[in-house]
């Protein structure tokens, strides 16, 4: 019997309850009419399945970052890509956005179960990429799907909202077979948007995980719906530090751009390393950050790696 089709759409979700969350697959344009019918024939189980949510609090999912990431992935290989738009569910008030994290994760998990049951998709090929609060939503989706392969957390939300984030909301190393996390914007003053604590199988502290080299006064950065701004204030610096994690991941897809991390013992050492150089320049163990990151057998959860970058795109030092 033919499996029922999946109706995958990209909507702006005006006044829609989360139970009506919509998805879309490989759409060329981000508009309300971009809907496709997806059945078992349109998904190739030989390809890995990349999926969202990929948005931070400010609705990045409908902006340029996710479009650039989608294009970069498809330029690299013929992946199945599903993007989840929850822009009206992750805005202020922040407490409501946090409450929506497990709800969105549950709906994404239901979608994944549908694919498993009706298209034969292998969960060992699932990879959820989430930025900010979206990283935690990815965790909630993955923990509901047995044998979920990988979750990548791009500067998971923390610090200024950590008091609002219950422990059961946070992404965890146990959510998938492999959980890799990128830290780029923690600031002790509470102004940063990321979190300090390691939470994955491998946690990469980029330039110490606090201030990024590119995010200097006068340099340009992208936020929200792809708006290009100039770093002119401390707030600009914090936003740049937070959103640049998306650029790091996008550029890491390229075979000629390698972000190499060195094991650093603890996150305290990783944070202090830009000033005190307490991480070994060549440790016994290295790990690649980003798209090509892989699980290291025998490595303890929440292992910390320090990654150094260049100031300007593509940012990777190994080219």
Q: What is the pLDDT of residues 1-30, one digit of tens each?
A: 344 433 333 322 223 344 444 454 544 443
Q: How far is CA 103 from CA 17, 21, 215, 248, in A?
A: 10, 10, 34, 28
Burial class (CB in 10 A: 0-12, 13-18, 19+), 56: buried
pLDDT at 95 over 50: yes
pLDDT at 43 over 80: no
- According to the model, what pLDDT value does residue 297 have? 94
Question: Would you place residue 280 in the very low, low, confident or very high pLDDT band (cuts 50, 70, 90)?
Answer: confident
Domain that holds residue 34: 5-318
- According to the model, what pLDDT value does residue 225 have? 64
CA–CA dist 296, 250 (Å, integer): 22
For all residues of the chain together, what is the average pLDDT? 78
The average pLDDT across 205-218 equals 94
Looking at mean pLDDT, say which of 56-65, 102-111, 139-148 comes out highest: 139-148
The token duo for 117 is 């049951």
pLDDT at 40 over 70: no
User: How many structural domains does the chain have?
Assistant: 1
Question: Would you place residue 80 in the very low, low, confident or very high pLDDT band (cuts 50, 70, 90)?
Answer: confident
The token duo for 215 is 């995010």
Q: Which CATH number does the domain housing residue 35 bear?
A: 3.40.50.1820
**H or E stretch including 237?**
helix 234-252
Q: Which residues 6+ apart lie within 8 Å of 319 measured at CB? A: 256, 257, 258
The tens digit of pLDDT for each residue in 150-202 reads 999 999 988 555 555 677 889 999 999 999 999 999 865 555 688 888 999 99
The token duo for 244 is 């640049």
Kindly report which listed range (78-82, 121-125, 263-267) carries the lowest average pLDDT score.
Answer: 78-82
- 207 close to 229: Cβ distance less than 8 angstroms: no
Question: Would you place residue 253 in the very low, low, confident or very high pLDDT band (cuts 50, 70, 90)?
Answer: very high
- According to the model, what pLDDT value does residue 191 have? 56
- 140 close to 52: Cβ distance less than 8 angstroms: no
What whole-number percentage of the chain has pLDDT above 90? 37
């Amino acid at each position: 019997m033919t499996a029922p089709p999946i109706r995958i759409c990209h909507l702006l979700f005006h006044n829609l309850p989360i139970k009506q969350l919509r998805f879309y697959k490989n759409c060329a344009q981000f508009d309300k009419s971009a809907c496709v019918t997806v059945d078992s024939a349109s998904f190739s189980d030989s390809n890995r399945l990349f999926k969202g949510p990929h948005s931070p609090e400010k609705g990045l999912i409908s902006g340029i970052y996710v479009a650039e990431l989608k294009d970069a992935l498809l330029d690299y290989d013929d992946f199945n890509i599903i993007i989840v738009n929850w822009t009206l569910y992750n805005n202020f008030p922040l407490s409501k956005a946090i409450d929506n994290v497990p709800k969105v994760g549950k709906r994404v998990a239901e979608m994944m179960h549908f694919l498993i049951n009706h298209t034969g998709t292998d969960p060992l090929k699932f990879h959820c990429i989430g930025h900010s609060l979206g990283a935690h939503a990815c965790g909630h989706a993955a923990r509901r799907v047995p044998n979920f392969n990988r979750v990548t957390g791009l500067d998971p939300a923390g610090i200024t909202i950590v008091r609002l984030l219950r422990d059961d909301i946070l992404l965890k190393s146990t959510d998938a077979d492999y959980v890799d996390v990128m830290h780029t914007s923690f600031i002790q003053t509470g102004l940063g948007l990321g979190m300090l604590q390691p939470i994955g199988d491998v946690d990469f502290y980029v330039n110490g995980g606090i201030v990024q080299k590119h995010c200097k006064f006068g340099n340009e950065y992208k936020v929200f719906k792809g708006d290009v701004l100039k770093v002119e204030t401390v707030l600009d610096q914090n936003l740049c530090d937070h959103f640049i994690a998306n650029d790091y991941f996008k550029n890491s897809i390229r075979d000629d751009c390698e972000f190499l991390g060195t094991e650093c013992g603890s996150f305290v050492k990783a944070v202090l390393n830009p000033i005190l150089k307490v991480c070994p320049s060549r440790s016994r163990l290295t790990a690649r950050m980003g798209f090509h990151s892989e699980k290291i057998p025998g490595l303890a959860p929440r292992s910390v790696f320090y990654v150094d970058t260049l100031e300007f795109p593509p940012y990777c030092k190994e080219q």
